[in-house]
Amino acid sequence: MGRDSDDAGTETKNVRPGGRAAAVVAAIHHATLELLDELGYDQMEIPNIAERAQVNKTSIYRRWPNKAELVLDALLTRTSVNVPLHDTGCVRDDLRLLLRDIAGQLATRSVRGLLMAFMGSNLDDLSFQSTRRRFWDERYHASGKLVERAVARGELRAETDARLFLELACSPLYVRSLIAGEAISDEYIGTLAELAISAFSPTC
């Protein structure tokens, strides 16, 4: 099946960026996203991922100690690429672009599967709960720069809570897409942006 034997031996030694090591990681991430959609978090296991990615399972354990860490890395990598932080100089435009990128992600099967796993009932899986919490902490931290810039420009109140602002703007997207199963229009995105901005705009 083209699986690397004995972890390919040298795949972590002096490999240039974009070389074999990067290709292996990309294949593992891709397999993880596919299997999350097909099997769900509970049923997906490291051997499944290794077989789909055509690598030895030790290649996975070398980088990620458990399934939860691999899921976290796969999701953060995907969202960092597909949901970048825009800087247009205007909070309204920055927020609309952020919401549009999130809506685009929610329309993809793999990301939907991953987020549905995060919404699952793994209440007794402490590593999974930690992974979910770290994912959202990382995303709110990255997107919080949008709020910091808006505050510095005087577009939002100085005491604006970045996470609360982002929750107000972004949460309806997840409800509409993942729970209600409805499409997200540009008009809806514009409405959410206006509501969030107006809630934290400086008073006259």
- Identify whether the C-beta of residue 76 lies closer than 8 Å to the C-beta of residue 133: no
- Identify whether the C-beta of residue 21 lies closer than 8 Å to the C-beta of residue 11: yes
- CA–CA dist 92, 96 (Å, integer): 6
Considering only the top CATH level, what class is 72-200?
mainly alpha
The CATH topology of domain 5-63 is Arc Repressor Mutant, subunit A (1.10.10)
Q: Provide the residue ranges of all domains of the chain, joining segments of one domain with +.
A: 5-63, 72-200
Nearest alpha carbon to residue 44 among 73, 65, 26, 70: 70
Residue 109's identity, in one-letter code, is: R
- CA–CA dist 69, 79 (Å, integer): 15
pTM of the model: 0.74
Residue with tokens 């949008």: 146
Q: What is the pLDDT of residue 68?
A: 82
Residue 99's identity, in one-letter code, is: L
**With a cut of 50, which residues of the chain have pLDDT below it?**
1-17, 204
Q: What is the pLDDT of residue 123?
A: 57
Per-residue pLDDT tens over the stretch 87-114: 999 999 999 999 999 999 888 776 776 6
3-state secondary structure of 60: helix
For residue 122, the surrounding DSSP H or E stretch is: none
